[in-house]
Homo-oligomer: A and B are copies of this chain.
Amino acid sequence: MNHKRTEKNENIVGSVLKAIQILDCFHPDNPNLNLSQISKHLEIPKSTALNLIQTLESEGFLLRVKSGNTYQLGYKNIELGYRATTSLSILPYAIPIMEEVQEKTGEIIYLTTHINGQVFYLQCSYPSRPKVSYSVRGKMLPMHCTGCGKAMLSYLSQEFVQHVIDVHGLRAITPNTIIDPDQLYKELEITRQRGYARDNEEETLGVRCVGIAIRNTNGQAVGALSLSGSVLTMTDENADKFANLLSNACNLLSQHANLFPASLMDQV
CB-CB under 8 A from A135, the residues of chain B are: 82, 85, 132, 135, 137
Closest to A31 in B: B86
A83 and B31 form a contact (CB under 8 A): yes
Which stretch, A123-131, A179-187, A230-238, touches the partner chain B? A123-131
- Cross-interface CB contact of A132 among B82, B120, B126, cutoff 8 Å: B126
Q: Are B131 and A99 in contact (CB under 8 A)?
A: yes
Number of identical monomers bound together in the oligomeric complex: 2
Mark contacts of A1-37 with chain B using CB atoms, 8 A cut-off: 1 yes-contact digit, 0 otherwise: 0000000001111011101100100111001000000
Which residues of A41-80 are within 8 A (CB) of B?
50-52, 54-56, 58-61, 63, 65-66, 72-75, 77-80
A95 within 8 A of B: yes
Whole-angstrom CA separation of A86 from B139 in the bound complex: 11
A-side interface size class: 35 or more
Q: Is the interface of A mostly helix, strand, loop or mixed?
A: mixed
Q: Which residue of B lies closest to A80 (CB)?
A: B77
- A residues neighboring B (CB under 8 Å): 10-13, 15-17, 19-20, 23, 26-28, 31, 50-52, 54-56, 58-61, 63, 65-66, 72-75, 77-88, 91, 95, 99, 102, 115-116, 120, 123-126, 128, 130-140, 261, 264-266
